Amino acid sequence: MELPDDGQPEISKSVQDDLPGHPLKPYVPPSNLHDVALPRSLTLEEAYRTTVFFVERYLSLETSPSLDFSLFYQYMLADPAAASDFTDAVRRMKSREETL
């Protein structure tokens, strides 16, 4: 690959198109969330999205959010293995004898 004058490699259009998109579509919640009934259970996808929304909310409220939470949020959105790690955590929780 030949480098341009600035010394930085060019990313071709085809490579950019191969990159995965944001896993979650932007979502605007209702203005009064207290009117939304809580379900008795969630699917794995709903639980994963709930975790993402929880971390987003935390980050939006903090003036100086924890770097750990910021990195965790980026990991959940960017790494395809994050969903698999999440389901492994659910399996670990469900394998416990005790219930919450």
Q: Which two tokens stand for residue 78?
A: 């960017």
Reduce the DSSP state of residue 1 to 3 states and report it: coil
pLDDT, position 24:
56
Answer whether 41's CB lies under 8 Å from 94's CB.
no
Q: Is residue 22 part of a domain?
A: no
d(CA 94, CA 100): 10
Q: Is residue 88 part of a domain?
A: yes
Local mean pLDDT, 10-residue blocks, the chain (100 residues): 52 44 62 83 86 84 83 84 84 75
Q: Residue 34 gets which letter from DSSP?
A: G
pLDDT, position 15:
41
What total number of domains does the chain contain?
A: 1
Answer whether 55's CB lies under 8 Å from 49's CB.
no
Q: Is residue 36 part of a domain?
A: no
Q: Comparing C-alpha atoms, which of 35, 26, 31 is closest to residue 53?
A: 26
pLDDT, position 20:
44
d(CA 54, CA 41): 17
pLDDT, position 53:
84
Alpha-carbon torsion angle 55, 59, 62, 67, nearest 10? 100
Residue 62: domain span: 42-100
Q: How many CB atoms lie within 10 A of CB 76?
A: 20
pLDDT, position 99:
61
